[in-house]
Amino acid sequence: MAGGNIDHQQIVGNISRILGNKLYGKCRIFPIEMKVWIKKRNKFFYPDVTVICEKPNFYKSRRDTIDNPKMIIEVLSKSTASFDRAEKFLSYQTLELLNEYVLISQDKALVEQYIKREDGNWIYKATIGLESTLDFSSVKATLSLQDIYDLVEFEEEIL
């Protein structure tokens, strides 16, 4: 999401840096400005973080638009959360090489993953709490939620 707030940008920066270091030489990490083409829906999106682990497949030879991500990460905001969970996820599921779709809350330490099984069905997994670790099965990397949320200040919930 272009124009995200400071916490949104911090999370995107943290996860891009950490994944980039862990996957150095194996995968490419693109924060925010790489378009993903959805051929079956005839549209494209700008994911917050796109991970490609093979040679990029460019849409119509455009070097700013790919259609072969292995993992897509979206940082949720109040204005985009329902769209990211529904329309975007339905569109992303049509990408043949996509194996993992990750939704990161910016309001609390919560990361949700949709992981594609070999039979093509998707399973859901939630990781909660700053003390937790997150396994990205599609790229064989583990990150702590503490690192993902480094320098993010959560607002206190009023009961």
**pLDDT tens per residue, range 41-97:** 999 999 999 999 999 999 988 899 999 999 999 999 989 999 999 999 999 999 999
* Residue positions counted in the chain: 159
Residue 113 lies in a domain: yes
How many distinct helices (H) and strands (E) make up the chain?
4, 11
Q: Which pLDDT belongs to residue 1?
A: 47
Q: Is the pLDDT of residue 24 over 50?
A: yes
Residue 42 lies in a domain: yes
Residue 155 lies in a domain: no
Residues 85, 119, 42, 57: is their CA dihedral positive or negative?
Answer: positive
How many Cβ atoms sit within 10 Å of the Cβ of residue 74? 25
Residue 43 lies in a domain: yes
**pLDDT category of residue 159 using cuts at 50, 70 and 90:** very low
Q: Is the pLDDT of residue 157 over 80?
A: no
Q: Which pLDDT belongs to residue 51?
A: 98
Residue 46 lies in a domain: yes
Q: Is the full-model pTM beyond 0.85? A: yes
Q: What is the CATH number of the domain that holds 101?
A: 3.90.1570.10
Domain of residue 131: give its range.
6-148
Residues 57, 39 contacting (CB under 8 angstroms): no
Distance in angstroms (rounded) separating the CA atoms of residues 126 and 108: 12
Which residue in 147, 1, 154, 146 sits closest to 81, CA to CA? 1
How many Cβ atoms sit within 10 Å of the Cβ of residue 60? 6
Residue 157 lies in a domain: no
DSSP state of 59: G
Residue 159 lies in a domain: no
* Residues 83-136: tens digit of each pLDDT: 999 999 999 999 999 999 999 999 999 999 999 999 999 999 999 999 999 999
Residue 45 lies in a domain: yes
Domain count, the chain: 1
C-alpha distances in angstroms, 60 versus 16, 32, 56, 71? Answer: 26, 20, 12, 21
What three-state secondary structure class fits 101? strand
